[in-house]
Amino acid sequence: MKDWFVIVNPNAGRREGEKSWNLINSILQDKIHQYTSKFTKGKEDAIYLAKSAIEEGYKKIIAIGGDGTINEVVNGIFTQTYTPTTEILLGVIPVGTGNDWGRMFNIPTNYEGAITTIANGNTILQDVGKVSFYKDMDKFHRFFINIAGLGFDARVVKKSNQKKEKKKSGKLSYLTSLISSLLSHKSQTATVKIDSDSFSEKVFSMNVGICQYSGGGMKQVPFAIPDDGLFDLTVIKKLSKISVIRNVKKLYNGSFTNHKKVSTMRGEKILIESEEKIFLEVDGETMGHTPFEFEIAPKSLGIIVNPSYLNDLKTH
């Protein structure tokens, strides 16, 4: 079996991937030793690089970038047919602005710590989601490893990504996008079917999660378990703008789920329809609109985690 294949997004974290490559490369040489590295050249190039690497015989991939880079690598892994995804191992060196997937597994944000975590080789098999959506009349699908956001959440992500393109990013940028999006957002009626249960509700925002964090540390699906074979769905029903502002702080510890307008549930399959278009983001990347169909692939991808994550599981 070949050694590690390293996919580097030079544009991640305000071009931090490029600026820090010499440092990262020297630590990789010290701790990982045998690897081949390639830089992405543009959007969705990491999908192609991951697929190509697996077809060349690689089964161990390191993604250097943010949550969007990880998502692309995962889509490369899951759209190839050369090797079963359970035989692929993914390690991550966070270089983005949100780094929400890594937060779930206690992946260090310093390069030495992240690469040491990869070298230590503690692994689990994680669930991966797949969502189908539309762009006008055309149907598409996307795999995701963290969280999908619908409605208000998708609007905030779209605005936040537009700021990223203007070299403005980070926690403060996300919060300002949240407040400015709030002024123009209107709740929409959605019909939701989760396994055998269904309901129609005027919703402000929804999240479908495998892991818990999004938006730079917000626990929008605080009860999600990444290897239980189930999606966690958080539904925020129509509520006033002032109520949203009052509860923003509670998004960071998950306590907003105690609000009377918030519901949480779990399921393997989720269908969402609406008369008005409700928009979608997955892993911080803007996608399309309703109708949506979510399916989960239980324990379908090997990932490297911090041993402290495994220790936390033992104590709970």
Q: What is the pLDDT of residue 5?
A: 98
pLDDT (tens digit, 9 = 90+) per residue, 13-43? 778 888 999 999 999 999 998 999 999 999 9
63 or 179: which leads in pLDDT: 63
pLDDT at 269: 98
Q: Sign of the C-alpha dihedral, residues 232, 214, 191, 274?
A: negative
| Mean pLDDT, the chain, integer | 91
Tokens 């379908």 found at:
300
Weakest mean pLDDT among 166-170, 221-225, 237-241, 284-288: 166-170
- Token pair, residue 176, equals 């300002």
Please identify, in words, the CATH class of the domain defined by 4-121.
alpha beta
**What proportion of the chain, given as a percentage, has pLDDT over 70?**
94
CA atoms within 13 A on the CB side of 272: 32
pLDDT of residue 144: 98
Instruction: Evaluate whether 147 touches 283 at the Cβ level (below 8 Å).
Output: yes
DSSP bridge pairs for 123: 304
Torsion of CA 31, 35, 38, 39, to 10 degrees: 0
Render pLDDT for 113-135 as a digit per residue (tens, 0 to 9).
999 999 999 999 999 999 999 99
Instruction: Give the whole-number percent of the chain exceeding pLDDT 90.
Output: 75
pLDDT digits (tens, 9 = 90+) for 134-181: 998 999 999 999 999 999 888 888 777 665 655 555 556 666 777 777
Top mean-pLDDT range of 155-169, 177-191, 195-209, 233-247: 195-209
- 299, pLDDT greater than 90: yes
Fold of 128-298: Tumour Suppressor Smad4 (2.60.200)
The pTM assigned to this predicted structure is 0.93
- The yes-or-no verdict on residue 1 having pLDDT over 60 is no
Weakest-pLDDT range from 244-248, 278-282, 287-291: 244-248
**Mean pLDDT value across residues 59-84:** 96
CATH 3.40.50.10330 in the chain, residues? 4-121
Question: Rounded to an integer, what distance in angstroms lies between the CA atom of residue 190 and that of residue 281?
Answer: 16
CATH 2.60.200.40 residue spans of the chain: 128-298
Residues 6+ apart with CB under 8 A from 6: 28, 35, 36, 37, 38, 61, 62, 64
